[in-house]
Structure 1
Amino acid sequence: MKAMRFTAADTVSVDELAVPRIAADEVLVAARSVGICHSDIELLEGRYIIPFRYPIIPGHEWSGEIVETGAAVTAFAPGDRVVGECVIGEDHFGFSISGAAAEFFVAKPAWLHKLPDSLSFTDGALVEPFSCGYHALVLAGNVNASDTVVVFGAGPIGLGVIAGAAAMGARTIAVEPAAGRGEAARKLGAELVLDPTAAPVAEQVAEVTGGVGATVVIEATGRTAVVADALEAAAHGARVVCVGIDVGGRAPAALGLIQSKDLTIRGMTGSPGVWPDTLRFMHRAHVDLAELVTSRFPVERAAEAIAASRDTAANIKVHLEFGAAR
């Protein structure tokens, strides 16, 4: 079988490997669509946030089809379309243990969720990033049509937040300087796209909300200076959720706003415990995330896929496709 491997820092190869064998409590999955994430680039560059070793097969945003089950497996059968969580106890699938960027890979049933028939394999490979955006909205609490949700950053996570908030009925506003990503935000449900380089964001938010501000703010850029902007743009009593990660970053902020505005601020990492809800939400709300996938490559062109993923001016999300991926 063919697999994309990171064999050393900044070294990508497509290798021919043996199809793995499964134990009694495991399943063999044929990959169908695998997304490339910014975290994969960090892994390739040797600076991922948890310990790992090369060589490693990446791939934590994926969909696939079960082709073999172990003798002790009862919840799944060959032919089941599945997606899988990536944080498994102390292991991170696709980081500390090899992931899904191969024609076949091994998984444990406890990681897996069946993909609803209404969702394509491409949709399935977007469940992981969308689950992070959905989790942010859940943490914000009771997001509904009474809310104005301002989302800082229209990357894959921010765009998922936008799609989710719009599906919940909220007035949704994106803060994004890149025109292409702003257009994707509009297609996914943003009523307005604000350019943070045009004027202070808080001023723009105040103008479009009649001076009230955002009742929900989701920070999805991972830039500490933007967290400071989020406090400024928030309404009195707003809920602020920080999704983007910048470990060790520092920026000046008007921290007194937390008290004077009576803000609720939450941080989060990943999407623990919300995958079943995420899949039901995507199915019932008819969330269409196709706009996120801007390039697709077969595994044989993995190096090109990595290069395309690094080109964030041209691409939002790049997928590797295997077999009947869509």
Structure 2
Amino acid sequence: MKALVFEAPEKPVIADMPMPEVAPTEVLVRTKAVGICHSDYELLAGRYIIPIAYPVTPGHEWAGEIVEVGQAVKGFKVGDRVVGECVVRTPERLHHFGFSLSGADREFFTVNPEWLHKLPDAVDNKRAALIEPFTCGFYAVLRSGGTNASETVVVSGGGTIGLVSAAAAIGMGARVIVIDPLSTRRDVALKLGADVVIDPSDGGAAEKVREFTGGHGADLVIEASGHDASLAAAFDYAREEGRMSMVGINIGRKVPVNIGQIQMKNLTVKGCIGSPGVWPAAIRFLERTGLDLSPIQTHDFALTEAVEAFAFGQDATRSIKITLLNS
């Protein structure tokens, strides 16, 4: 079979690999679709938030079909369409699938069925590859109390996590404002159902938020970019007694912010990473709301073209979500 392998930092190759053997407690999955994440570029560059070793196959935003079931496995059968969680536990330790364990950027792979969730018929394979990032955005909204049709949510940052966070809030009924300097991302936010999009480049984003909210500010602000300017401005968007969910990653940097607004506005600010415990609810949510996340998936490549796909995605202004497809 073919697989994308990071042989060493900055050394991606398509390699021929033997078919994996299926243990009695495992299932064999044929990859159908895999998204490329910003974290995959961190792995390619030789860094990640937990220890990693090379060679390794990336791929943690995936959907696939079970083609073989180990003798001891119950609850899954050949033909089941599935997605799998990224943060998983083995007898040895906690792993990140696609990082410390090789992932789904290969034609076939084995997994522990405890990591899997079945897909509803209404969610096709390509859209299912967005479930992993969607769970992160869904969790970012839930962690700060959720939202509803009475509220306005500001999402600062229109990359994949910002857009799926916006989609989650839209699905819950809130009015949603997405703030991003790139017109392509703002256009996708509107396709997802955002009420307002704002270009922060002129420095007037906070005033526009207040104008849209009758002078009050947003009930919930989701900071999803991790960029210095977005982090500094996020506190300006919140109303008094508002909530903030900080999901954008900015590790090891110091950003000057008007921190006194936490007290002056009596804000509730929560850090947020990953999507613990929300996968079944997020999948039901997508099924029942019928949210169409496909506008986020801007470019497709064949799985065997993964090296070219990663090179194309190095310029973040050209795409939002690149999806690798294995027909």
Structure-1-length-normalised TM-score:
0.97
> Where does structure 1 differ by over 4 angstroms across 4 or more consecutive aligned residues?
none
Unaligned runs of 5+ residues in structure 2 are none
Cα shift at 1:227: 2.2
* CA deviations over 1:207-242 (Å, ceiling 9, x no partner): 221210011000000124422211111001111001
Letter in 2 for 1:263: L
- Aligned partner of 1:276 among 274, 277, 280: 280
* Structure 1 residue aligned with 2:234: 230
- Aligned partner of 1:241 among 239, 245, 248: 245
Cα shift at 1:174: 0.5
Letter in 2 for 1:203: E
Contact 1:14–1:299 (CA under 8 A) maintained in structure 2: no
Contact 1:231–1:254 (CA under 8 A) maintained in structure 2: yes
* Structure 1 residue aligned with 2:325: 321
Q: What SS does structure 1 have at the residue aligned with 2:201?
A: coil
* CA deviations over 1:61-81 (Å, ceiling 9, x no partner): 000000001111011000000
2: CA distance, partners of 1:234 / 1:249:
23
Contact 1:81–1:114 (CA under 8 A) maintained in structure 2: yes
2: CA distance, partners of 1:183 / 1:56:
35
* Structure 2 residue aligned with 1:176: 180
2: CA distance, partners of 1:195 / 1:296:
27
2: CA distance, partners of 1:199 / 1:295:
31
1: CA distance, partners of 2:146 / 2:58:
35
Q: What SS does structure 2 have at the residue aligned with 1:197?
A: helix
Contact 2:157–2:230 (CA under 8 A) maintained in structure 1: no
Q: What SS does structure 1 have at the residue aligned with 2:154?
A: strand
Deviates more, 1:127-136 or 1:249-258: 249-258
Map residues 41-80 of structure 1 onto 2, 5 A cutoff: 41-80=41-80
Deviates more, 1:116-125 or 1:293-302: 293-302
Q: What SS does structure 1 have at the residue aligned with 2:251?
A: coil
* CA deviations over 1:243-268 (Å, ceiling 9, x no partner): 11111121111111111111111101
* Percent identity of equivalent pairs: 50
Cα shift at 1:200: 3.2
* Structure 1 residue aligned with 2:193: 189
Cα shift at 1:302: 1.2
1: CA distance, partners of 2:116 / 2:70:
14
* CA deviations over 1:278-321 (Å, ceiling 9, x no partner): 00000000011110111111122111110122221110000110
Letter in 2 for 1:111: W
Letter in 1 for 2:67: V
Q: Alpha carbon RMSD of aligned pairs, Å?
A: 0.9
2:139 is the counterpart of 1:102: no
1: CA distance, partners of 2:74 / 2:146:
36
1: CA distance, partners of 2:203 / 2:249:
25
Cα shift at 1:204: 1.9
